[in-house]
Structure 1
Amino acid sequence: MDDQKILSRFEEYRESVKAKAARNGGVKRRDERCIADGNELLRFHCSTFLCDLGQNGNSSICGQQFCSICGIIKSGFSHKLDGISTVANSWRAHVAIPEDIEEEFKFLNVKRAILVCRVVAGRVGSDADEPEKEGGGFDSVVGRTGSGAQTTLDEEELLVFNPRAVLPCFAIVYEI
C-alpha cells in the first residue's frame, strides 16, 4: 500500500464521520466538531521496531514481519486490532509500553518509536457509556478516572475503533 492510498482511506473515513454527524442533526456540542472536521485531533501512539530506522539518517521502511513501526507506516494500522490506543502527549505514549520491553527483547534489538498521528475521533464515548464499537454510535472511547471525574481528551487515552481513522504523520525514534 502506498502513502497516497493510506491518506485517501483516512480522508474518506473523515468524510463519512462528518456526513453521519450531519445526518444525525448535530444537536450536541461534540457533534458540531464531528460535522466540521470529524473531530480530528493530533495524538501519539508508541510501538516497537527492529530495523535501523532513524540511525545515521536512515529513513527507509523495512519489510521485516515484526517491525511494527515500519508496518504501520507502510500499510496503516491493522484491521485485526480491537482498537488503536492514542494518547495526548509523548510521555503518556512512552509509558504505555512497559519499561523493560527493550531488555526483554534485547536479543531482537527491539527499540521503540512514537508516531505522531492525525486521528478522526468522531463521536467519543466514555467507559460509562459502554459503547459497542461503531455500532453503539461511538467512533472512539475515552476512559474516565475516578468516580464522576471530569476529564478531557487531553488527559486520557483515546481508543479508536477504525484503523482508517488514524493517520501516522511523523515517527520519533529515540533512546532511553
Structure 2
Amino acid sequence: CKQISLKYTPLLLEVPSYHATYEMVENKFKHAWKFPNLRQPTIKRIYKIIENKSFLQPYDRYKRRVRNEAFRYHGTTRTCNLGSRGNTRICGSSSCPLCSILKTSFKTSLANPGGAFGPGIYTSSASNKAYSYTGNGSGAMLLTKVVLGKVRYVSGWKEVMSCPPGYNSVVFDRLNGCLNETIIYSDDAIRPVFLIIF
C-alpha cells in the first residue's frame, strides 16, 4: 500500500486533533508565537505532507553535508480550497502558491529578486511573522525542515543581498526574534513537513 501511495505524492494526511502529532505541531506554533499582544489564530486542521524518496533525497544529501537542521515556518496564500473541510486534492493551477510549493518544494528561481536579502527562500522561527503572509489566515502555513548550515547573522535590511561566501543561510532577528527572518539560498535546503490551516 505504501509503495503504491508514494507513486501519487505529494499526499496530505489529516492529523486527528486528538493525536500526539497534532498536539506537537500546535504547541510548536503557540510557543513560536512571539507577539503576546497579537491574538493567535485558531488552528483548524493540520496535515502531514508525505513525499516520495526522490523528492526527499536532495534534501537528505544536503543535510548530511551542510548540517544544522531546524524547523521554520513559511506562510503563503492559496487560490484553491486545499486543506479546507478535509480537502486534500492539490490543485493544478500554476498560480496557486501553496500547491506549487507542495508539488515542487521551494524554488529560488521563483524568489523575488527585490527581497530584503535578495532572491532567497524566506522562512521564520516566529510563527506570527510567517502568519502575516497567509492573507490574514485565508492562506496556509507550512512547518518546514530547513538546513541552516553556517549562519550569517545580520542586523539590518539589505545588509547582504545574496548568501555570503562561506555561509549557507542568513538570519535577521528583528525585534529580538519577534520578527525573525531566516533566508536560505538553496532549493535543497528546505522541505515542507506539515500544512497548517486556520
- State the TM-score, normalizing by the size of structure 1: 0.68
1:21 counterpart residue number: none
Q: Distance in 2 between matches of 1:144 and 1:67?
A: 29
Structure 1: tracts of 5 or more residues without a match: 18-37, 103-110
The two structures, once aligned, show a CA RMSD in angstroms of 2.6
Whether 1:58 aligns to 2:95 is: no
Q: Is the alpha carbon distance of 1:79 and 1:95 closer, same or farther for their aligned partners in structure 2, counting shifts above 3 Å?
A: closer
2:21 counterpart residue number: none
% identical aligned pairs: 30
Task: State which of 128, 135, 146 in structure 2 corresponds to 1:91.
Answer: 128
Tell me the SS of whatever aligns to 2:191: strand
Deviation sequence 1:117-155 (CA, Å, 0-9, x none): 000011000226955745611111011448xxxx56x86
Q: Distance in 1 between matches of 2:179 and 2:94?
A: 33
The range that moved more, 111-120 or 48-57, is 48-57
1:172 counterpart residue number: 196
Q: Distance in 2 between matches of 1:48 and 1:98?
A: 6
2:169 counterpart residue number: 140
Q: Distance in 2 between matches of 1:145 and 1:73?
A: 28
Whether 1:79 aligns to 2:108 is: yes
Greater strand percent: which structure? 2
Structure 2: tracts of 5 or more residues without a match: 1-7, 10-50, 112-118
- Is the radius of gyration larger for structure 1 or structure 2? 1
Q: Is the alpha carbon distance of 1:160 and 1:119 closer, same or farther for their aligned partners in structure 2, counting shifts above 3 Å?
A: same
Deviation at 1:77, TM superposition (A): 0.6
Task: State which of 47, 61, 84 in structure 2 corresponds to 1:12.
Answer: 61
The range that moved more, 43-52 or 82-91, is 82-91
Greater helix percent: which structure? 1
